[in-house]
Amino acid sequence: MNNSDSGMVGQIVVIAIVAVVVIFVLVILARSIRIIPQATAGVVERLGAYHKTLEPGLRVLVPFIDRLRPLIDLREQVVSFPPQPVITEDNLVVSIDTVVFFQVTDARAATYEIANYLGAVEQLATTTLRNVVGGLNLEQALTSRDEINGQLRIVLDEATGKWGIRVGRVELKAIDPPLSIQDSMEKQMRAERERRAVILTAEGTKQSAILEAEGHRQGEILRAEGDAQAAVLRAKGEAEAITTVFGAIHQGEPDQLLLAYQYLQTLPKLAEGSANKLWIIPSELTEALKGIGQAFGDRGPTPPPK
């Protein structure tokens, strides 16, 4: 092998060594630098033991010594559990859907204190739900959702606190009683609606009758007031007429014969009406007739016409 071949081999060896070093450095950098996304946390183990929790951002690890476990989501999570059969106090089996809102607050506790915190939350929620609803009858379970939600949240939050989990809210999506109970409830609701319809109809009829009677009463009052006003006006008119006639008579200074003649004209008016069976002739009329007789006697017989 000549010198030129030896030099070429040496260059190849150097290039290979440099390439290996570059690859090794790249691997070291890849294993050393970690980017933690926002709203997540990473648990670092050094030689198998817990070392620290990485916050979001660019972080550097010791290669081949530190190991980063899978990232943990720190956002609030929503877990919907399948319907669970629950026995109430009155021995009725109801199916209840539950939704739990929780959030991981301690990544280390969520990693080392519990193997599967999602499954643990589900089982704990199911057990707590059966304990709470088991002490209520069906009517209380259907009408006390807020109280059940509050009790479930308190129990779950206390139990999951050591796991680094905070339970924010628990909601019952649906409470489905047995089909026979649903039919009975539907019949009861239908009867209640019919009863309310009958009550509303009766109230409407009552109000209509009241308004009609009120209108009739107001009409009678207005009619009576009109008749009273008409009678008053009629009486005023008659009074004014009498006053006018009386004044005219006094101004004309009538004699006895004119008064007697007026009395005679009044006699037919006294006989008007079928109920007039008895006539009461005033003494003034008798005096007037005497006056008329005397007047005709003083004048003497009327001479026959020529």
pLDDT tens digits, 214-262: 888 888 888 888 888 888 888 787 777 767 766 666 666 665 556 566 6
**81 with 122: CB under 8 angstroms?**
yes
Tally Cβ neighbours within 10 Å of residue 116: 9
Q: Would you give the distance in Å from CA 273 to the centre of its chain? A: 72
DSSP characters for 96-160?
EEEEEEEEE--HHHHHHT-S-HHHHHHHHHHHHHHHHHHTS-HHHHHH-HHHHHHHHHHHHHHHH
Which of 49-58, 86-95, 168-177, 184-193 tops mean pLDDT?
49-58
Task: Specify the pLDDT at position 164.
Answer: 92
Residues 6 or more apart from 77 whose CB is under 8 A from it? 101, 102, 103, 104
Positive/negative CA dihedral, 268, 274, 279, 281: negative
Inform me whether the pLDDT recorded for 306 exceeds 50. Answer: no
pLDDT tens digits, 50-60: 999 999 998 88
Helix (H) or strand (E) holding 240: helix 179-252
**243 with 250: CB under 8 angstroms?**
no
Tally Cβ neighbours within 10 Å of residue 92: 15
Window from 18-22, 35-39, 138-142, 276-280 with minimum mean pLDDT: 276-280
d(CA 261, CA 59): 140
Inform me whether the pLDDT recorded for 285 exceeds 50. Answer: yes
pLDDT tens digits, 249-268: 666 666 555 656 665 666 56
Inform me whether the pLDDT recorded for 299 exceeds 60. Answer: no
pLDDT band with cut points at 50, 70 and 90 for residue 62? confident
Inform me whether the pLDDT recorded for 103 exceeds 90. Answer: yes
Task: Specify the pLDDT at position 85.
Answer: 87
d(CA 40, CA 19): 36
Instruction: Taking residues 142-171, report their average pLDDT.
Output: 89
pLDDT tens digits, 73-98: 999 999 888 888 888 888 888 888 88
End-to-end CA distance of the chain: 204
Tokens representing 155 are: 């129990």
Inform me whether the pLDDT recorded for 279 exceeds 60. Answer: no
Considering the entire predicted model, what is its pTM? 0.53
Task: Specify the pLDDT at position 22.
Answer: 83
